[in-house]
Amino acid sequence: MTIKITLFITLILYAAIISQSLFYILAMSKVMKNMQVTTYIETRKLLDKHLQVSLRVVYYGSLIVSIALTALCLVNSSVLLFTCSIIALVCLVADLVLIVKGNMPLNKVFNSWTTTSYPSDWQQYRSKWFSFFHIRQLANMIGFLSLLTGVVFGK
């Protein structure tokens, strides 16, 4: 029963992570790429301000339960579920590394700008942010689909 509860919590937290990617795929990427610089700066600052705490909780919680799930799967489940939990954990760690090394430093740069003071090549910063984010999207989608595969096909 412990493994099922841990798997359930892991799926919920991973779903929260992937929801951000899905939102960007469905609309937000196109919207952000078509914004004028002042709107982009204001939007980035608001997003960062409101997402920093909630996403930190989701990511740390997901990392903790993903580690627990992998440990539980090592001794209590099928090879497929164990393998899928490892893949999901590796993808989550990759996502976190990309956040810390790529997106967060760029977010700090964006947050230092004002609507009257920003670099002329601001679009290159935005493109670089999206490059990191697209890799993150791929990683967290692979991780989430791996977990779902383990749930559906693992016994």
What's the mean pLDDT in 127-140?
Answer: 96
Residue-level pLDDT at 16: 95
Q: pLDDT, tens digit, for every residue of 53-93? A: 899 999 999 999 999 999 999 988 789 999 999 999 999 99
Examine the pLDDT at 108 and tell me if it is beyond 80: yes
Question: 155 falls in which pLDDT band (50, 70, 90)?
Answer: low
Per the CB < 8 A criterion, the answer to whether 117 and 41 are in contact is: no
Question: What gap in Å lies between CA 9 and CA 5, rounded to an integer?
Answer: 6
Residue-level pLDDT at 78: 86
pTM, 2 dp: 0.91
C-alpha separations of 12 from 24, 37, 55, 148 in Å? 19, 35, 13, 11
